[in-house]
Structure 1
């Protein structure tokens, strides 16, 4: 199936509008801190959440809303700068955000998904949101995606948006989305805040199944620093305005939709990895030749999470032993003596390990390969035909600087 990349992120699909503004949560008036996404018609909705035992109040409210509404929604409201987590009045504030949005949009509060990101343990002031919600709703636009994505950014240095068009029968369909995240990212659910929109007609059961399965091989394979956030969420809304034959079974159209969702989420995942806090290099690890998907995922994630590997990549040091070490402590069953390993970038590719042992290679050539800003670690277990990818970044001095004074 051919997918065509298009612009406008969460506004790329038919019937979706968005906006973002600075309501005063962020003292930098050039930075938006409140976002709203809205569909003119009801959407089938699904979400995946953090597995952290400490969960932000917005997650609790969103879960309750999707259950109460029969897994339908029409809007997302999200703020940055304050996570609204570990607060006695957190649920009350998250619910109030939904009520404010619902009143302006003339919808039921249960049709609103809510999310927050920022500092944990600080009370969320609701007054700035109350005083700006009318302006936020009034400014909704089919071109408002840039304002919305700017509003969910925290330590992100670049906005993250991606959308594709494709055909289901005679119907042109779209899946698009926006994401935020730069630190406190670890593969233990969905990592970060991610809002996906689509005009595909699909049942709520199948959209949840597709989202959960694609998250497993995208966001769950992303690691920046080993910390799983309390507010992680991926939500998706599909309003059916593309006019395709509704997807109610796992047929060919369902597979095409899943592939489109993978195209969007995998590209957003790469963007998140490349913009890791303080990062200078994107790392992509592929584990091929695995006996099954879980083994491939476990091995690739084990490598990408290794702090020693991240440091070596920052130093542009082809210390392949650190990679083999990380493969070795992966909690999966395979024969380490069959492992082959290559390091690759736009500057070339070099084999550094074969049959679980080192091979002669040019350190000079390896240094040139690792000097690029996107590094690919290719593992072949030679024990099957299944592969998986994981994404991350190098670990730099700047990561410590950013997180040493995050609250200021």
Structure 2
């Protein structure tokens, strides 16, 4: 009889590849009480520093069949495998085109898990990838977390793939995956599965055992087939992983940095990627009378580093202006979580409008240290000057 040993329990595997669910499965409201088959355990690798966390298994994972594309034409062929996450078409892309960017190799130095370990059944009684009602989904997620979510102690970074995995790990507190893609937060919603917490009261159970680990937001790879323009940004996210682990993301920049090469521009982009995660942002420009030019200055700060300001000064070059403008425009969309401050906005209004594409309506999103309640702003929509 085929099967596996899971947490000390023998799980039988049927001829069609489906794995019997472990004891306690009847406590999950998402499982059909008359069907004990279809369990897909996580793939934890001892010593692995990165855990990729996704949503739920598909039909290939459930049947223990791995997808390959030997001709490279999206002509999938199934090969026998064990029941584990991400071995379908999405898993093939994951193994071949994304993990190498992070310098990781499946089965050797990376763990893979799902929020849910089974597929739900539809009204027709057949398993599918559709999600149930929110209350059922919440209870099923809670059951799977307490019973099966056991990242190795070596884990230093969790990568959330998709909205459901992101909400599971963070509680949805910081925002959506679209807002945080490519950035890291602490795990607000990850409940520990240690016996100490599992057997404690709700005031302890709600704490985060893995809260100190950074969680990197990424899109689910299945989305990229429907939205190809997100392929390159997602590959950039995977390429950041080694830098995050080494503490080299972003690399520090010198004052008055003038990018001259493609590598310099990459460093500049990386710095601003992290700046968008800041708790507060300060913008300023400084006029240099001797050279009749401006220096752009941006400072960022974090809640846990209240006495430290990370800042850069950039010369007014086309490359610098484009990167800063893109950075500021993105901050407008995230103003609810990133307060911005300008040092004497009146003095800098012309440079801000000309170089950063800031409009008159942006002023209401800023804190001005010098003119808190009154400012004259020249509207780019007309030649008039309006007072606020």
TM-score between the two structures when normalised by the length of structure 2: 0.30
Q: Which entry has the higher C-alpha Rg, 1 or 2? A: 2
Higher relative contact order (CA 8 A, sep 6+): 1
TM-score between the two structures when normalised by the length of structure 1: 0.29
More strand by share: 1
